[in-house]
Structure 1
Amino acid sequence: MPLPASAPTPRPPGPTPPEPSPRDPRSPRSSPSTRFTRSPRFRAKRAAFGHDLGASLVVSLIAIPMSLGIALAAGAPLTAGIIAAVVGGILVGTLGGAPLQISGPAAGLTVVVAGLVGTYGWRVTCAITVLAGVLQVLLGLARVARAALALSPAIVHGMLAGIGIVIAIAQFHVVLGGSPQSAALDNLRELPGQFAALRAPELTIGLLTVAVLLAWPLLPARPSALRRLPAPLVAVGLATLVAVLLDMPVARVDLPGTVLTLPALPTGYGWAGLLTAVVTVAVVGGVESLLSAVATDRMRPGRSADLDRELAAQGLGNVVSGLAGGFPVSGGAIRSTANIRAGAVTRTATVLHGFWVLLFAGLLAGFVQRIPLAALAALVMVVGMQMVNRAHIRHVHRHREFPAYVATVAGVVFAGVLEGVALGVVAAVVMALVRLGRSTVHTYERDGALHVEVHGSLSFLSVPRLSRILDRLPPGEHVVLDLTVDYLDQAAFEAVHSWRTGYVAGGGQVEIEEIHDDHYVRAAEGQPGSGRVGPTPSARWFAPWWHWQRLHPRRGRPPAHPLVAGTREFQLRTAPLVQPFLERLALEGQNPAQLFITCADSRIVPNLITASGPGDLFTVRNVGNLVPLHLVADPGDDSVGAAIEYAVSVLGVRSITVCGHSGCGAMQALLDSTAPAAGGEGAHGVPDNTPHLRRWLANGRASLDRFAARPAPTLSGYAPPPVEQLCLTNVLQQLDNLLGHPVVHRAVEDRQLRLFGLYFDLASAQMYVHDAATGRFEPVDAPGGDEAEQAGPPALEQEFEAAPA
């Protein structure tokens, strides 16, 4: 019996949905490959590849003439430059830690390689390149790349500038139609004779190349298709075209029949010289690569380069390039900059550039052999001139390191790369010693005394100048020697002490005041020195009088009162610094954001513990940081209430803080009042002859009752001794008392005012802030380094909700 045909599935009511298109990724007929090619990730990769492809073409057109020119300038086979460009692009580009950096033959190694070729020949130079690469790999694996950048920028920039000058001078001979010598000094001596025997065709080609190189980037009316053509390609191409069309008798590129040149082991040479050569190639090439990588990072912010990986990849590139007979490989700032400006996004542009160089060098070998050597020499000469960077000179001069820069440049030009770097290091060390031992001395007369102020580090380097100034002081005067120094060595102490002894013996008076530490006093008493104090400009604004006021006996008059000495110190040192702020506040009036209520204890300095200045805090200080209840205090004790109303209603402060502290005498007196009274003490643990104090401490009775009725708050989970628990409880009680003032209650309800509780531990100099969520006092941690500032846990700055009035 046949089975009945299945009935069609009824359609749901409503409009018929459209059938999905096969192009729709949701369609059953859409293949996985179709869905992948239409994903946002694939589209982003395709767009990035388009940018990288265009950038790689542009950079390869720069790399070919530069590689040929650098090899020519070093006296190496011209194919060695092409080999280095290919290896640097493909191998280093794939493995390097700076994805957008272009590696290849770099101008910074031209002078070094030229010296090696002249001394050992090309095949041994290739072996040196291999060994230098092995050393760079080991240094990269040892992760010392960042340490290499610790070398002073003045020395590094001076080294590159010196190399650039040597290159420019040498290639200028080729532009004039001659041949350069091995040393820059010899090239300078030969220049007059070279001018006398210059060849017009080479000079014409060279000047044309230089003119195009300098003018091409400045032409504003270039068609859009020509704007992507790099200036080196245009300059060398145009010079070659002119030389061919005019059939000019100039020397041209001569490519060897064999491309690869195998390295040869050195024989008959001293190993010390070879080791020096290996270290020189590794260090100069590595430093140039790392500097270029750092510059590349600055041009394209994002994930920073892995410098150790980059150094190891450069070393591997040198091993391969040296084995293939290529030039040493190094990162180049010119090509890397062009790569980024051409739109490169990933390391694909770097790798593709290497393949393009290989392809173009093979296809355009006939054109390459028509390039005039004078055109390549002019190209490298301009590159050398650009290595003397004016921005670097300004930067070095701004940081007062120009002598080290000049010493390095002169050493590289007239002696050699290593000698120039060594001379620059010596100059930098001498400058550092001079700065460390530098001190400034000012003399003036005030209040009938001669003042001699010494600032800085007082070492043996400063003794001659200080001694001359002290010896010129007239005898028999009252002299105040102000030592605002962070260091005093033995030679300086003996010079000052000897002068003081002689001056006093001649009838004069000498006072020695010290700011940072007792360097002179310790040395005079035979105590060990405390070493360098640090960069603090002056300790007197936060140190107590007993620390810095050294009262020496003066003939005929008693020592100044500490307060007078302190105000004199303020007028002398602090007033000039704070006067601009006070002048503005005097004109505009006060507008503090904070009412700060704290104890009258002399150990609490509100502006110090809050790092605030004039106009920041409206401060109320009393015994026990108490806030009397509204309309409860005696009519004659309205000072705190008046300050609160003035701060909230008139000044419009946005927060009120009650700050307690450890070891509070008022809280100890309240706590002692619960014990049997000792002889001579009243109801509040204070002497009977202090009626005003006893009446005032009655305002703390509510804190004592709260302490007895509720668990006391803790310091970050730690329960301190009872008197400190009462100090913490008192802070919270005074916050509640504040809410009893109608002006405060209304402002808090309207969210125009916030209340905070602080507690300062004297012994540890640690501030704690009350966390309304947990009921604990948590430490306020100081921000460190470049991290974002955080005042403890997020819940610390919570508002106190207004209680019903």
Structure 2
Amino acid sequence: MGTDTKSYRSLAKSGITSVLRHDLPASLVVFLVAVPLSLGIAVASGAPLAAGLIAAVVGGLVAGSLGGSAVQVSGPAAGLSLVVAEVVTTYGWRATCMITLMAGALQLLLGLFRVARAALAVSPAVVHGMLAGVGVVIALSQLHVVLGGSPQRSAIGNLIELPQQIIHNHSHAVFVGLLTIAVLVGWTRLPQRLRIVPAPLAALFVASATAGALGWDVTRVDLSQSLSEWATPIWPGGDWHGIIGAVLLVALLAGVESLLSSVATDKLHDGKRSDLDRELTAQGVANMVTGALGGLPIAGVIVRSTTNVRAGARSRWSTVMHGLWILVFAVCLGWTITLIPMEALAALLVFIGVQMVNLGHLRNLRGHGEIPIYVATMAGVVLVGLAEGVLFGFGLAMLSALRRLTWITVRAKPEPDGRWHVLIGGSLTFLGVPRLTSELRAVPAGAAVELDLNIDFMDNAAFEAIHTWRHDHERGGGTVDIDEIHDEWYAMAASGARMFPAKTPPRAPERWWLPWAHRRRGRPAPASSLVPAQHPPPEGGPAVHSPAEGSPAVPDLLAGAREFHRRTAPLVRPFLLAMARKQDPSHLFITCADSRVVPNLITASGPGDLFTVRNIGNLVPRLGAAPPDDSVAAAIEYATGALNIQTITVCGHSGCGAMATLLSGYEKATELPALSRWLHHGNHSLARFIATESDGFDDGPLDRLCRVNVIQQLENLRTYPQVDRLVRAGRLQLVGLYFDIGTAQVHVLEQPPLTASPL
């Protein structure tokens, strides 16, 4: 077989074009953000300023080229600054470089052993709390520099001394710092076209230019001294326990932050997902290189990575080139750094520190009850230390997880017929026995009890509690019927069977609501689905014939039918048998033919609930409209005349192709004449769209038309005399629904005004 050199050239040319069009501009944006941040983090870490630039270069060139994430940007991280500052104070800068090198070797080893995903077991509440605590410490210490003073040795000391700094210091340094913060805060409020220059760079430029023009007495950055301090790493002196602890702390914190940043970055783009083991290995190599060259420790940084994605980066070339630009800048334009006031860098750090306390994380953690973990970790970092705060938060997270694992649900309530229904859910262990026995004692003696066990584990103490209560209740004249929903934990324990480890949980059933493509991932298609064959039917079910070879789309359909026969049919057969001769739906449900809209899924309805009509655009042609269409009219007549339905629902959805065609003036349907004729029934919706203004609930013209269309179809229904008569008599209700596919949320549309409220 020959080689298609022309296609290879075309592929290479398209790759180069993409790099020049997308990655090159993105690399320049990230470079402009990375330089001031790297200098500021070096200041916060107590390291030479050049160490920040070295780490940024290595993060781009080494971690960027070897990493497992295509768009993540690595470099010096603010979250590591407290660790580095403490290590520098304890062992000195050259020894800190050796600790960084050894931490990189440890990361490399962990990456080679493919343990990267274990880092994802760390609670995000601990990570976010740690970063928030670091941000508070950085902001408090650097605020003293902004105010013309010197930071204290602890966050509490900085907080105590802050009033004195504010009262007694009013030098030019204060003006520079406040000007820097003012530019950083105000930059986001400028028009988009003026925000091409990143805010940190703009703030440092304005502060430096103003201080120089007005002749303010400020402390300038001295990069020459920083360069003269460079030397090869040396072995740290002191207790080897402390050295090992420092290596572990740098390696684990940098590794966890990098991996979590990779996962977060994956959510920002649609490209290839990150290879976490490769990313951890690359971080290890980069930290070995930066340690050998005298740079700060390196980690994946979410701020720079987010900037990279939003700037349009498509591949790792953006990260690599940003490192190259920093290297060129440091070699050729390093003298410009000496124009920056130290107070401006301190103000930049204050701003970064405040931003690290992200209230958005609190909103996410609130729903999971993890705010105490976040607050405890942050308080521990601020009041005690970084390592202590992280360990405290991690311990609290473990206790919280243990509490949730042992938390049980017990509900006992009487039914109208006099029977009692008891539901027990969760993991039944000895820790839940007191609550379990307390709730069961509430059941009166002699009552008939239906006991549902919805549990995933039962230890001997929990079994003894339930078993003893059952015998006592039955001896008192009552009855207990036990129904185990998931597994027979109670039945097996009562029979004396060995529960663990011989007992293994059953394989989880396929989730019917997942698309076929998702359900077959990791599962080879059965060979029987590719050749003609007749499979024996389940009891009471029909045979399923597989397609002839060469029909690749059919096996999924037949595999789904077999799945229905195997798992679902036995569950639904009893009540389907009861309604086999007659249907009695309560709703007529009119919706779009779009494959992403599944009526039974979004309404949690079952067989016999919905009488459904589906067409392109969920349209209801007005009575007597041209071109005539009897299909929808026949369904309306039958539903209202024969089925006596109580509700007619019209359900639209986001991103409807029919509405997009209407907006385009039928341009998208020029090759589809039947579709063009059908969509003329949507002209009233288009006219209504033009005549109404947005109410702020929509996400653009298409979204608004999709919503307006639902309201218009409800009005079209009133053109049918039977529908209008039943609505006026109060015997029929018209409902408009809107399904937002992206958020998987159903909204109720009211008419008029056109508003939406989440269900």
TM-score, normalised by the number of residues in structure 1 = 0.59
CA distance in 2, matches of 1:267, 1:73: 21
CA distance in 1, matches of 2:7, 2:422: 80
Deviation at 1:53, TM superposition (A): 3.2
Supply the AA of the counterpart residue of 2:77.
A
Aligned: 1:235 with 2:228: no
Aligned: 1:422 with 2:387: no
Aligned: 1:246 with 2:202: no
Supply the AA of the counterpart residue of 2:207.
A
Deviation at 1:163, TM superposition (A): 2.3
Aligned positions of 1:63-82 closer than 5 A? 63-82=34-53
Supply the AA of the counterpart residue of 2:282.
A
Structure 1 gap segments, 5+ residues each: 1-34, 538-543, 545-569, 591-611, 619-649, 652-805
Secondary structure in structure 1 of the residue aligned to 2:223: coil
**1:698 alignment partner in structure 2:** none
CA contact (8 A) 2:233 2:292 kept: no
Supply the AA of the counterpart residue of 2:394.
V
Structure 1 residues 533, 41: CA separation in 2 closer, same or farther (over 3 Å shift)? Answer: closer
Structure 1 residues 297, 514: CA separation in 2 closer, same or farther (over 3 Å shift)? Answer: closer
CA contact (8 A) 1:483 1:512 kept: no
2:343 aligned to 351, 374, 399, which one? 374
CA contact (8 A) 1:290 1:311 kept: yes
Secondary structure in structure 1 of the residue aligned to 2:121: coil
**1:634 alignment partner in structure 2:** none
CA contact (8 A) 2:126 2:390 kept: yes
Structure 1 residues 444, 186: CA separation in 2 closer, same or farther (over 3 Å shift)? Answer: same
CA distance in 1, matches of 2:267, 2:472: 60
CA distance in 2, matches of 1:358, 1:52: 18
Identical positions, percent: 51
**2:543 alignment partner in structure 1:** none
User: What per-residue deviation string (whole Å, max 9, x for no partner) do you get for residues 120-173 of structure 1?
Assistant: 111111110111111122222222223322333333333323322322222222
**1:136 alignment partner in structure 2:** 107
CA contact (8 A) 2:445 2:478 kept: no
**2:95 alignment partner in structure 1:** 124
Deviation at 1:200, TM superposition (A): 4.5
User: What per-residue deviation string (whole Å, max 9, x for no partner) do you get for residues 397-448 of structure 1?
Assistant: 3344333333333333333333333223322322222222222222222333
2:460 aligned to 490, 501, 515, which one? 490
Supply the AA of the counterpart residue of 2:80.
L
Secondary structure in structure 1 of the residue aligned to 2:585: helix
Supply the AA of the counterpart residue of 1:188.
L
Aligned positions of 1:706-745 closer than 5 A? none
Aligned: 1:614 with 2:610: no
CA contact (8 A) 2:585 2:610 kept: no
CA contact (8 A) 2:411 2:439 kept: no
User: What per-residue deviation string (whole Å, max 9, x for no partner) do you get for residues 38-87 of structure 1?
Assistant: 96843651463254333333222222211110000111111111111122
**2:435 alignment partner in structure 1:** 465
CA distance in 2, matches of 1:201, 1:411: 35
Aligned: 1:85 with 2:53: no
User: What per-residue deviation string (whole Å, max 9, x for no partner) do you get for residues 575-609 of structure 1?
Assistant: 9xx99xx998244499xxxxxxxxxxxxxxxxxxx
Supply the AA of the counterpart residue of 1:585.
P
CA distance in 2, matches of 1:456, 1:73: 48
Aligned: 1:277 with 2:231: no
**1:390 alignment partner in structure 2:** 359
Secondary structure in structure 1 of the residue aligned to 2:412: strand
**2:183 alignment partner in structure 1:** 212
CA contact (8 A) 1:260 1:325 kept: no
The runs of at least 4 consecutive aligned structure 1 residues that moved more than 6 Å come to 35-40, 534-537
**1:438 alignment partner in structure 2:** 407
Structure 1 residues 534, 194: CA separation in 2 closer, same or farther (over 3 Å shift)? Answer: farther
Structure 1 residues 457, 339: CA separation in 2 closer, same or farther (over 3 Å shift)? Answer: closer
CA contact (8 A) 1:123 1:325 kept: yes
CA contact (8 A) 1:263 1:322 kept: no
Aligned positions of 1:617-766 closer than 5 A? none
User: What per-residue deviation string (whole Å, max 9, x for no partner) do you get for residues 295-346 of structure 1?
Assistant: 3333332223333332222222222221222111222222222223333343
Aligned: 1:201 with 2:172: yes
**2:130 alignment partner in structure 1:** 159
CA distance in 2, matches of 1:90, 1:358: 10
Secondary structure in structure 2 of the residue aligned to 1:265: coil
Structure 1 residues 178, 504: CA separation in 2 closer, same or farther (over 3 Å shift)? Answer: farther
Aligned positions of 1:11-160 closer than 5 A? 41-42=12-13, 45-46=16-17, 48-160=19-131
Aligned: 1:336 with 2:305: yes
Root mean square deviation of aligned Cα: 4.0
Secondary structure in structure 2 of the residue aligned to 1:486: strand
Supply the AA of the counterpart residue of 2:427.
S
Aligned positions of 1:534-573 closer than 5 A? none
CA distance in 2, matches of 1:71, 1:131: 20
Question: Which structure's residues are more often helix, by fraction?
Answer: 2
Aligned positions of 1:166-205 closer than 5 A? 166-205=137-176
Aligned: 1:324 with 2:293: yes
**1:717 alignment partner in structure 2:** none
Aligned: 1:448 with 2:418: yes
CA contact (8 A) 2:68 2:278 kept: yes
Structure 1 residues 493, 174: CA separation in 2 closer, same or farther (over 3 Å shift)? Answer: same
CA distance in 2, matches of 1:583, 1:110: 69
Deviation at 1:488, TM superposition (A): 2.4
CA contact (8 A) 1:125 1:263 kept: no
Moved more, 130-139 or 42-51: 42-51
Structure 1 residues 252, 36: CA separation in 2 closer, same or farther (over 3 Å shift)? Answer: farther
Count of matched residue positions in the alignment of Structure 1 and Structure 2:
527
Deviation at 1:230, TM superposition (A): 0.9
Structure 1 residues 118, 511: CA separation in 2 closer, same or farther (over 3 Å shift)? Answer: same
CA distance in 1, matches of 2:381, 2:71: 30
CA distance in 2, matches of 1:529, 1:36: 61
Structure 1 residues 461, 212: CA separation in 2 closer, same or farther (over 3 Å shift)? Answer: same
Structure 1 residues 279, 353: CA separation in 2 closer, same or farther (over 3 Å shift)? Answer: same
CA distance in 1, matches of 2:442, 2:18: 77
Structure 1 residues 149, 478: CA separation in 2 closer, same or farther (over 3 Å shift)? Answer: closer
**2:534 alignment partner in structure 1:** none
Deviation at 1:237, TM superposition (A): 0.8
CA contact (8 A) 1:115 1:182 kept: no
CA distance in 1, matches of 2:277, 2:305: 18
Secondary structure in structure 1 of the residue aligned to 2:422: strand
Secondary structure in structure 2 of the residue aligned to 1:369: helix
Secondary structure in structure 2 of the residue aligned to 1:462: helix
User: What per-residue deviation string (whole Å, max 9, x for no partner) do you get for residues 705-747 of structure 1?
Assistant: xxxxxxxxxxxxxxxxxxxxxxxxxxxxxxxxxxxxxxxxxxx
Structure 1 residues 355, 268: CA separation in 2 closer, same or farther (over 3 Å shift)? Answer: closer
Deviation at 1:375, TM superposition (A): 1.3
Structure 1 residues 218, 328: CA separation in 2 closer, same or farther (over 3 Å shift)? Answer: same
Secondary structure in structure 1 of the residue aligned to 2:434: helix
CA contact (8 A) 1:89 1:102 kept: yes
CA distance in 2, matches of 1:292, 1:424: 20
CA contact (8 A) 1:253 1:368 kept: yes
Deviation at 1:373, TM superposition (A): 1.8
Moved more, 67-76 or 282-291: 282-291
Structure 1 residues 479, 313: CA separation in 2 closer, same or farther (over 3 Å shift)? Answer: closer
Deviation at 1:94, TM superposition (A): 2.9
TM-score, normalised by the number of residues in structure 2 = 0.62
CA contact (8 A) 1:486 1:532 kept: no
CA contact (8 A) 2:450 2:482 kept: yes
